[in-house]
Structure 1
Amino acid sequence: MSSTSPSAHAGPSASASPLHRVSPSDIAVGVIIGRTSEFFDFFVFAIASVIVFPQRIFSFTDPLTGTLLSFALLALAFVVRPLGSALFMAIDRRHGRVSKLTAALFLMGTATVAMGLIPSHEDVGYWAVVILAVLRIGQGLALGGAWDGMPSLLALTAPKSRRGIYAMVPQLGAPIGLIVASLLFAYLAANLSAEDFLGWGWRYPFFVAFSVNVVALFARLRIVATDEFQELFESRELQPTRLRITLAEDGPTVLLGIFVPLASFAMFHMVTVYPLSWIFLYTNETLVSFLVIEAVAALAGIAAILLSGFLADRIGRQRLLLVGALLIGGFAILAPLLLSAGKTGEMVYMIAGFFILGLSFGQSSGAVGSLFGVRNRYTGSAIVSDLAWMFGAGFAPLTALLLSAWLGLPAAGLYLLSGAVCSTIAVLLAGRMEFKGDA
């Protein structure tokens, strides 16, 4: 163990702190706060990629091309996220988890608030695209660095009979972040003229995101920096191992792990970002109306995530993930046409999609963590999540919109269908392994 591990910064009292003072519920609070802030940042950018950036940053081209270019920038953060994990894990090893988390969230907040200040293409030309791309890279690096290990710690400290319930806790941050972001944009769009909204109103969610990051930073540091948590991280060996060591010892597991949550992560964008782009570009549905539909559907996602915890503890996580992958495959084939069936079709698409997503997404992170033994769980879970998000979610809205524009709305589900096939195979293969974290 390096002398610069977190315990070196915790002080003498760390070794004397009783472990029972930290309960799974304490960890759950920190996890929900952290994930909600990260997903709120994500959805603010994603919504702006559809309703703002094509008109302000990519105004030199047509709306469809502008949206596709915005989605390319959306994917950029997922591409650099693994680099962020590697960079900030080096900071973790040298200076401790508190320094790492502070630096990552400071970078995230700075990049996010700067997006709210970015000039339009009419003001600075193509420099607007360059600036936005640089800031998006900053967000991606920070997102990789924001991994604090608390979901893995939560899984290890939860009672064995309730691991499914505790595994779904981190996933609640996604629909909560979406609800807040969607309703905030809906409120601004409903109460401002189109000119005022595009001129300055759209900037407020980015400033709010900065405030949320500050609150989340102090809330997470209040937990992570305690002596009790430092000792728990060490006693469970949740320390960042070097990437080459993790790959040498668990390379096949990393490769398999990427595909286990792939369908869930692809589905994530097929019910959040992609439908918003299609509705905005090709229907007469008002922006406010659909954002409200999205927020309501996210409540169904919360209910399904909660349900996934109980189901995983009763029928098993592997069986639930397999059912989820098959449902996602069916959704990919049958659901896209609902987006052209009016408001009723949109509601069915969104609510059914979020419910299916919640059942699978609710256990995806827990499934990844359970593939690794304690030694490589911290690094392995982070890298697998980064790569699964990149291949599963990063390119999903870009690919789906491109396919539907070229080949028609039914083709939108082809990318999602390929992810469902990959996840089905990966879950079956993972079932033959000894789940080290669940042993």
Structure 2
Amino acid sequence: MTANASAANSTPLERDAQLLTSHDAKVGPGDIAIGVIIGRTSEFFDFFVYAIASVLVFPSYVFPFADPLTATLYSFALFSLAFVGRPIGTLIFTYLDQKHGRGVKLTIALFLLGGSTIAIALLAGYAQIGAASIGLLGFFRLMQGVALGGTWDGLPSLLSLNAPSAKRGWYAMIPQLGAPLGLVLASALFAYFLGILSPQDFLSWGWRYPFFVALAINVVALFARLRLVQTPEFKRLFDNRELQPSPPFATLRAQWRTIVLGSFAPLASFALFHLVTVFPLSWVKLTTNESLVRFLLLEALGAAVCVLAMLGSGAIADRVGRRAVLGVSAALIGAYSGFAPQLLGAGEIGEAFYMLSGFVLLGLAFGQSSGIVNASFDRQHRYTGAAIVSNSAWFFGAGFAPLVALFLASQIGLWAIGLYLLSGVIGTLGALFINRELAGRTA
């Protein structure tokens, strides 16, 4: 299969995108960066819409038979299914990529993501259909994960390969901006509906609207990404095997050491990720009488601070090297783990300090956690290897974080969350120590 998908295998959206790039228009790093930000923001918006609903909606809507804590733990267990589905999606959609082309694969994956999201928005609750509501929610969440495994488009790698050598840290940070931007949008939207609706109306129909918005954003993101995968630069790199998919199991056998190190290197930031986004909202809802609108707005503010910290991480990394930024930020997260979790039980001021300081650390660390081993892959394994690393890091570092954190905090105390964070720090520092070339200045 060549880079040019045949007309029979092309989608209408893909053909429309081809028209925009059919005259060999030059697409530079700036254009790629915009496409990457749009794509990642849409994915993370989907992600956070579900994450917030898993705290505010699903415990009472899908698990009304359980007490609030147990219901939230059940909800977080279903939340984790997406991270199980991601590697499955990589296997399925790598095959589609090889047989039918990047555009067909990406179109199917994003429509699966959008369809699963809308299906969740239309879900009937336990009161209407009983246990089938639990099964359907779990299935749709798993399908979201499968779809996310298929949305890997190689654009972060394309951005890295087109970035000036002196700006690798800056351009490595750009794909990560989608996370805080998606959180800002999702938190603000839920805060709006919580603020204007009664609790009964919100649980009946208000929570569904953010899921509908997610579908609209996905359509815009799909076209933006299809336009870029049809550029001459992308096709040239595909023909040169820089961005060509390789069989996943063959990639694992050939590049297992790089994949293991790449999966562990960002664990500190990935563990922190859910401990300043999803878990705190659940803890405040379950243990306090504070306004959830206020806390959602605090999350949105923290995400905005995270954007600024990410921008700073890019500039710093280009001066001192990405490896140094990852190592120092991991050490700071280790220090943070020793005292900060207890602040969630210290009232509104303590919560604000926990959230804002956590988001600063998340921005510094997460900003440099994308593709830090891409340059270490053999050229023919780079595209698929990067997808496997991303899936593995999310699975081990973040997939079960809300569930584990809430269980530890409820059974032992908030201080126990620090142990979970510390395990991620050990993973990051260990991977950086084992591979001293990992994420160096030229990575």
TM interval, shorter chain, is over 0.9
288-297 vs 244-253, which deviates more?
Answer: 244-253
Q: Supply the distance in 2 between the matched residues of 1:69 and 1:21 (Cα, whole angstroms).
A: 50
- Aligned 1:8-19 pairs, distance under 5 A: 8-9=5-6
Aligned to 1:5: 2
- Conserved 8 A contact 2:88-2:149: yes
Secondary structure at 2:51 match in 1:
helix
> 1:60 and 2:57 equivalent?
no
Where structure 2 has 5 or more consecutive residues not aligned to the other structure, the ranges are: 11-17
Q: Residues 232 and 253 (structure 1 numbering): CA distance in 2 closer, same or farther, change over 3 Å? A: closer
> 1:324 and 2:329 equivalent?
yes
2:136 paired residue among 122, 125, 131: 131
Aligned to 1:277: 282
Aligned to 1:186: 191
Aligned to 1:198: 203
2:31 paired residue among 22, 26, 39: 26
Q: Which amino acid aligns with 1:48?
A: A
Secondary structure at 1:268 match in 2:
helix
Q: Supply the distance in 1 between the matched residues of 2:6 and 2:271 (Cα, whole angstroms).
A: 39
Q: Residues 18 and 370 (structure 1 numbering): CA distance in 2 closer, same or farther, change over 3 Å? A: farther
- Conserved 8 A contact 1:168-1:366: no
- Conserved 8 A contact 2:371-2:386: no
Q: Supply the distance in 2 between the matched residues of 1:201 and 1:20 (Cα, whole angstroms).
A: 44
- Conserved 8 A contact 2:5-2:100: no
Aligned to 1:49: 54
- Conserved 8 A contact 2:114-2:215: yes
Q: Which amino acid aligns with 1:395?
A: F
2:151 paired residue among 141, 146, 164: 146
2:383 paired residue among 378, 386, 392: 378
- Conserved 8 A contact 1:369-1:377: yes
- Conserved 8 A contact 2:373-2:438: no
1:98-126 residue CA offsets vs partner (Å, 9 max, x unmatched): 00000000000000011010011011111
- Aligned 1:34-433 pairs, distance under 5 A: 34-235=39-240, 237-432=242-437
Q: Supply the distance in 2 between the matched residues of 1:139 and 1:90 (Cα, whole angstroms).
A: 18
79-88 vs 368-377, which deviates more?
Answer: 368-377
Q: Supply the distance in 1 between the matched residues of 2:407 and 2:257 (Cα, whole angstroms).
A: 33
Aligned to 2:14: none
Superposition deviation, residue 244 in structure 1: 2.4
Q: Supply the distance in 2 between the matched residues of 1:354 and 1:34 (Cα, whole angstroms).
A: 22
Q: Supply the distance in 2 between the matched residues of 1:41 and 1:74 (Cα, whole angstroms).
A: 12
1:139-170 residue CA offsets vs partner (Å, 9 max, x unmatched): 00000000000001110110000000011000
Superposition deviation, residue 279 in structure 1: 0.6
Secondary structure at 2:63 match in 1:
coil
Superposition deviation, residue 388 in structure 1: 0.7
Secondary structure at 2:116 match in 1:
helix
364-373 vs 130-139, which deviates more?
Answer: 364-373
Superposition deviation, residue 227 in structure 1: 4.1
Q: Which amino acid aligns with 1:350?
A: M
Q: Residues 20 and 218 (structure 1 numbering): CA distance in 2 closer, same or farther, change over 3 Å? A: closer
Secondary structure at 2:369 match in 1:
helix
Superposition deviation, residue 433 in structure 1: 5.9
Superposition deviation, residue 19 in structure 1: 7.6
308-317 vs 220-229, which deviates more?
Answer: 220-229
Q: Supply the distance in 1 between the matched residues of 2:334 and 2:22 (Cα, whole angstroms).
A: 49
- Conserved 8 A contact 2:372-2:438: no
- Conserved 8 A contact 1:19-1:228: no
Superposition deviation, residue 368 in structure 1: 3.4
Q: Supply the distance in 2 between the matched residues of 1:40 and 1:114 (Cα, whole angstroms).
A: 16
- Conserved 8 A contact 1:17-1:228: no
Secondary structure at 1:367 match in 2:
coil
Greater helix proportion: 1
Q: Residues 178 and 188 (structure 1 numbering): CA distance in 2 closer, same or farther, change over 3 Å? A: same
CA-based RMSD: 2.0
Secondary structure at 1:147 match in 2:
coil
1:230-278 residue CA offsets vs partner (Å, 9 max, x unmatched): 2243346211011122122211111111100111111100100010110
- Conserved 8 A contact 2:432-2:438: no
- Conserved 8 A contact 2:187-2:299: yes
Q: Supply the distance in 2 between the matched residues of 1:376 and 1:20 (Cα, whole angstroms).
A: 28
338-347 vs 90-99, which deviates more?
Answer: 338-347
Where structure 1 has 5 or more consecutive residues not aligned to the other structure, the ranges are: none
Superposition deviation, residue 371 in structure 1: 3.2
Q: Supply the distance in 1 between the matched residues of 2:274 and 2:435 (Cα, whole angstroms).
A: 25
Taking only the aligned residue pairs, the percentage that are identical comes to 56
Q: Supply the distance in 2 between the matched residues of 1:231 and 1:404 (Cα, whole angstroms).
A: 51
251-260 vs 126-135, which deviates more?
Answer: 251-260
Superposition deviation, residue 18 in structure 1: 9.1
Q: Supply the distance in 2 between the matched residues of 1:415 and 1:183 (Cα, whole angstroms).
A: 29
- Conserved 8 A contact 1:22-1:229: no
Normalised to the residue count of structure 1, the TM-score between the two structures is 0.95
